[in-house]
């Protein structure tokens, strides 16, 4: 089928029997739920921009499997140019939504699974690579959104797979059949999971030979029997349930989404299995997916950062402080930090190389450096934005107060809304409403539901800071650097 539009994507979700639970009950019409719909709108943007001629070069690609035009989110990176366009596409979408557009994890999973299955087949004579190529062709031809599912609940972090009191805290194979396998467990913090057509499940960490039941990679439809999701709530999410909510929402149209995805004895047919007890390939898959996903943060978070910088500049203008030297300096620092993140995303892309399977992988060291910076710089960007915005960002009355016609029985006989408009006025020529809108927008990104897709996700998405430090230590080649020093210093051993 041709590339879907955003509306066609939303309608395609309605055809699924996805089981979603929110606030302790099953949500039969979760697609139109006011808390969930902004995240769907955000993902729909990945479809709509693919139809815009201005962005076609970034948003679409030619499939290496079929030769057909596909959405870049379904693409295998076949050159460093593809890797660079990925980052530029993600920055664009961050600029358009100021939120998490959720489709990156599937794209990153495609590329990691493609190369890993090739090398696993090379060693063991398995057929996982052909399985995956057929699956990815199906995904591309139908323009599907796939949840790249890696993070397990993990339970006691001090215990291995086999030592957990509950063996289901990591996804595992519980039964092998002639026609497939049965899996049980869960994936936590799954970005865009309920908004996805399918889930591509991977191991979450290296697997010891004695724990090989946990070395499993497979694809399952979102409405597979035994699969259900519990929606993760976010700060200030119930504001979306308030009648007539608008200004108080900050980012009314777009938002991110995470959920717990549960697999309760889900059957996976043989042609959808891409790793099955090959424990020695679990670490490779984890490392490659993590590398691709850490690269992603040099694009998506930068795009959102662009919007935050713009909103902070607007807030300064509406406060009448735009000419202050310290405000100008803070905006410069925010821009410097944001462009440094982008530079890292571009650098690890430019330094990419071909895998044995033929698709391109980023430079893993630089990708981990990119994500390590993302665990820090967005926090400083947000801090500076809050500094520029001022305390009113978190102390102003509600939208209902600003709109209220209720008369306050005092000498002036003003309404509640008139009092708010009077005392929260900013720079001359700027409406109080516009000032309120930009401050609520910054509140939403810095502290509210959008903080999940920017600030907090910057810390823990694609692995928390220590995960990158481990990889940096592993790939930093300290021994090679010691040899460089020895040669120049004249040291002979």
Instruction: Please provide residue 360's backbone torsions phi and psi, each rounded to the nearest 5 degrees.
Output: -100, 140
**Active-site option among 258, 287, 386, 399:** 258
Instruction: Please provide residue 201's backbone torsions phi and psi, each rounded to the nearest 5 degrees.
Output: -95, 135
| Cβ-based neighbours of 483, under 8 Å, separated by 6 or more | none
Verify whether residue 293 is a known catalytic residue: yes
Verify whether residue 104 is a known catalytic residue: yes
**Active-site option among 42, 74, 100, 120:** 100
**Active-site option among 104, 344, 370, 420:** 104
Q: Cα–Cα distances in Å, from 447 out to 334, 439, 471?
A: 18, 11, 30
Verify whether residue 355 is a known catalytic residue: no
| Cβ-based neighbours of 363, under 8 Å, separated by 6 or more | 347, 348, 351, 352, 353
* DSSP string over 37-79: HHHHHHHHHHHHGGG-GGGHHHHEEE-TTT--EEEGGGPPP-S
For residue 197 the two structure tokens come to 């057509």
| Cβ-based neighbours of 123, under 8 Å, separated by 6 or more | none
CA nearest to 200, candidates 285, 296, 87:
285
Sign, CA dihedral 326-330-335-340, equals positive
Instruction: Please provide residue 448's backbone torsions phi and psi, each rounded to the nearest 5 degrees.
Output: -95, -150
Verify whether residue 297 is a known catalytic residue: yes
* DSSP 8-state secondary structure symbol assigned to residue 4: P
Query: For residues 296 and 103, what is the distance between their CA atoms, to the nearest angstrom?
Result: 11
**Active-site option among 27, 198, 443, 457:** 457
Verify whether residue 457 is a known catalytic residue: yes
> Within 13 A of 251's CA, how many CA atoms are on the CB side?
35
Query: For residues 61 and 50, what is the distance between their CA atoms, to the nearest angstrom?
Result: 10
Query: For residues 255 and 452, what is the distance between their CA atoms, to the nearest angstrom?
Result: 9
* DSSP string over 412-469: T--BHHHHHHHHT--STT--HHHHHHHHHHHHHHHTSTHHIIIIIHHHHTTS-HHHHH
**Active-site option among 297, 318, 342, 454:** 297
**Active-site option among 120, 276, 300, 370:** 300
**Active-site option among 60, 126, 191, 432:** 191
Burial of 435 (0-12, 13-18, 19+ CB in 10 A): buried
Query: For residues 237 and 245, what is the distance between their CA atoms, to the nearest angstrom?
Result: 11
Verify whether residue 258 is a known catalytic residue: yes
**Active-site option among 42, 197, 293, 370:** 293
Verify whether residue 100 is a known catalytic residue: yes
* DSSP string over 144-201: --EEEE-----SSTTS-TTTSSSGGGS-EEEEEETTEEEEEEEEEEEETSTT-SEEEE
For residue 249 the two structure tokens come to 């929402």
Query: For residues 128 and 449, what is the distance between their CA atoms, to the nearest angstrom?
Result: 39
Q: Cα–Cα distances in Å, from 66 out to 106, 118, 133, 475?
A: 19, 18, 10, 35
CA nearest to 374, candidates 469, 297, 308:
297
For residue 33 the two structure tokens come to 């739920």
Q: What amino acid positions are annotated as catalytic residues?
A: 100, 104, 191, 258, 293, 297, 300, 457
């Amino acid at each position: 089928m041709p590339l879907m539009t955003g509306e066609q994507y939303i309608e395609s979700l309605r055809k699924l029997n996805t089981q979603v639970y929110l606030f302790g009950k099953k949500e039969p019409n979760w697609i139109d739920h006011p808390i969930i719909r902004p995240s769907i709108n955000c993902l729909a943007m990945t479809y709509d921009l693919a139809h815009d001629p201005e962005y076609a070069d970034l948003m679409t690609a030619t499939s290496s499997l079929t030769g057909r035009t596909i959405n870049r989110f379904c693409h295998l990176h076949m050159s460093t140019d593809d890797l660079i366009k990925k980052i530029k596409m993600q920055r664009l979408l961050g600029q358009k939504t100021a939120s998490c557009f959720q489709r990156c994890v599937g794209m990153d999973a495609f590329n990691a699974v493609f190369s890993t299955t090739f090398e696993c087949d090379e060693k063991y004579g398995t057929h996982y690579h052909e399985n995956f190529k057929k699956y990815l062709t199906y995904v591309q031809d139908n323009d599907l959104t796939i949840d790249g599912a890696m993070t397990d609940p993990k339970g006691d972090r001090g215990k291995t797979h086999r030592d957990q009191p509950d063996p289901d805290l990591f996804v595992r194979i519980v039964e092998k059949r002639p026609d497939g396998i049965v899996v049980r467990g869960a994936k936590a913090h799954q970005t865009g999971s309920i908004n996805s057509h399918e889930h591509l499940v991977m191991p979450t960490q290296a697997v010891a030979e004695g724990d090989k039941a946990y070395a499993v990679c497979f694809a399952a439809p979102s409405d597979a029997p035994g699969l259900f999701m519990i929606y993760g709530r976010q700060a200030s999410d119930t504001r979306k349930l308030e009648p007539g909510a608008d200004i108080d929402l900050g980012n009314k149209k777009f938002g991110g989404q995470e959920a717990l995805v549960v697999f309760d004895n889900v059957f996976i047919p043989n042609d959808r299995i891409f790793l099955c007890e090959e424990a020695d390939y679990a670490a490779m898959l984890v490392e490659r997916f993590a590398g691709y996903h850490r690269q992603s943060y040099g694009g998506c978070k930068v795009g959102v950062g662009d919007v935050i910088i713009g909103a902070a500049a607007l807030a300064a203008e509406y406060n009448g402080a735009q000419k202050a030297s310290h405000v100008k300096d803070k905006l410069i620092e925010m821009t410097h930090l944001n462009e440094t993140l982008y530079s890292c995303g571009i650098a690890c892309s430019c330094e990419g190389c071909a895998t044995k399977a033929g698709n391109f992988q980023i430079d893993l060291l630089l990708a981990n450096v990119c994500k390590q910076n993302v665990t820090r710089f967005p926090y400083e960007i947000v801090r500076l934005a809050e500094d520029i915005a001022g305390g009113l960002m978190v102390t102003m009355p509600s939208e209902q107060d600003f709109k209220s016609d209720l008369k306050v029985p005092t000498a002036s006989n003003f309404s509640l809304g008139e009092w708010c408009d009077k005392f929260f006025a900013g720079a001359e020529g700027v409406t109080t409403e516009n000032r309120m809108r930009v401050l609520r927008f910054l509140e939403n990104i810095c502290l509210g539901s959008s903080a999940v897709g920017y600030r907090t996700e910057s810390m823990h998405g694609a692995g928390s800071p220590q995960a990158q430090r481990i990889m940096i230590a592993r790939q930093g080649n300290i021994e090679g650097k010691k040899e460089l020093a020895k040669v120049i210093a004249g040291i002979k051993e």
